C-alpha cells in the first residue's frame, strides 16, 4: 500500500487561493487505512475549508482512485457537482491524484504527500520494506530486502557499525544484515553470503515505468 500524510493545511490553502468552490475526492483503500483520505478525513477537510470561507460542492470516496477507469466513471457520475467547482482536491496518493488529472480539465490539487510503499503490521503502524526497484534481490538474502531496509542500501554487508544487532544509523531499529544472517542460517544457505554481489542495477527502475 502507498503510505501518505496530509499536507499542512496552511500550505494547502496557499494552493487554493482563488478557488472558492471545491470538490473533494478521497480514497477508500490506502489513504483510508492511513487516515489521510477516508470518509472521516474528507469530512474533516470539508469542515476546515468551510471555516475558511470555501464552498464544498461535493464529497466522494473512490474505492481506489489510482484505478483510472473507475475514477473516470466516478467523475462522470458527479459531473454536475464537479462542474460547479473550481478545483478537485484529491485526498490520496500521487497516483490517485494523477488518475483524476487524466479524467478532467478542472484544476486538480493533491491534499496528501506520498511517503513510501508500506507494509501494515498493526493499525496506523507502517513499515517500508520495498522500493519497487524493478530488480528484486530478496532471493539472495533470505527473502529480505537490503536495498530498502538497510539505511545504506548495502548489497554486501554488514557495514561493521552495528552494535548488539542495532543499526548505527538508527539505534532503534534492527540491523537488517543481522536478520539476513540469521534467516540464511535457519535455511541452511549461509554460504550464499560468500557471493560478492555486483553493484545494484538501478536502471531497472527508470521513470516513467509502464507495463502494457
What confidence score (pLDDT) does residue 177 get? 95
Give the Cα separation of 20 and 23 in Å (integer).
10
Q: Specify the pTM.
A: 0.89
212 in a domain, yes or no?
no
**Does residue 159 share a domain with residue 94?**
no
For 43-62, the pLDDT digits (tens) are 999 999 999 999 999 999 99
- Which of 46, 43, 36, 25 has the alpha carbon at shortest distance from 2? 36
Give the Cα separation of 173 and 154 in Å (integer).
16
**Does residue 21 share a domain with residue 109?**
yes
Q: What is the CATH number of the domain that holds 84?
A: 3.40.50.11860
What confidence score (pLDDT) does residue 56 get? 98
Give the Cα separation of 178 and 18 in Å (integer).
54
What confidence score (pLDDT) does residue 103 get? 95
Give the other-Cβ count within 10 Å of 193's Cβ. 18
Domain that holds residue 157: 134-205
CA-CA-CA-CA torsion sign (93, 98, 99, 101): positive
47-52-57-62 Cα dihedral, nearest 10 degrees = -50
**Does residue 111 share a domain with residue 39?**
yes
Could you give the strand order of the β-sheet that contains 125-128, starting from the edge strand earlier in sequence? 2-6, 112-122, 125-128
What confidence score (pLDDT) does residue 123 get? 85
| C-alpha to C-alpha distances, 66 to 63, 94, 95, 148, nearest whole angstrom | 9, 9, 5, 24
Q: Which residues of the chain have pLDDT under 70?
A: none
124 in a domain, yes or no?
no
If one counts the domains in the chain, the total is 2
Amino acid at each position: 500500500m502507498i503510505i501518505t500524510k496530509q499536507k499542512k493545511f496552511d500550505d494547502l490553502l496557499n494552493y487554493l487561493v482563488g478557488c472558492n468552490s471545491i470538490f473533494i475526492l478521497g480514497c477508500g483503500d490506502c489513504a483510508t487505512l492511513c487516515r489521510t483520505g477516508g470518509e472521516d478525513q474528507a469530512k474533516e477537510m470539508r469542515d476546515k475549508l468551510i471555516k475558511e470561507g470555501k464552498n464544498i460542492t461535493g464529497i466522494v470516496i473512490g474505492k481506489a482512485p489510482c484505478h483510472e477507469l473507475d475514477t473516470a466513471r466516478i467523475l462522470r457520475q458527479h459531473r454536475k457537482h464537479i462542474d460547479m467547482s473550481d478545483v478537485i482536491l484529491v485526498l490520496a496518493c500521487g497516483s490517485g491524484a494523477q488518475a483524476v488529472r487524466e479524467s478532467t480539465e478542472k484544476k486538480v490539487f493533491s491534499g496528501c504527500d506520498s511517503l513510501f510503499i508500506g507494509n501494515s503490521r498493526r493499525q496506523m503502524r507502517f513499515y517500508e520494506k520495498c522500493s519497487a526497484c524493478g530488480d528484486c534481490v530478496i532471493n539472495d538474502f533470505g527473502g529480505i530486502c537490503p536495498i530498502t531496509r538497510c539505511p545504506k542500501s548495502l548489497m554486501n554487508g554488514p557495514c561493521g557499525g552495528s552494535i548488539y544487532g542495532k543499526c548505527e544509523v538508527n539505534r532503534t531499529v534492527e540491523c537488517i544484515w543481522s536478520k539476513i544472517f540469521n534467516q540464511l542460517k535457519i535455511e541452511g544457505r549461509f554460504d550464499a553470503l560468500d557471493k560478492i554481489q555486483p553493484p545494484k542495477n538501478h536502471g531497472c527502475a527508470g521513470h516513467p515505468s509502464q507495463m502494457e
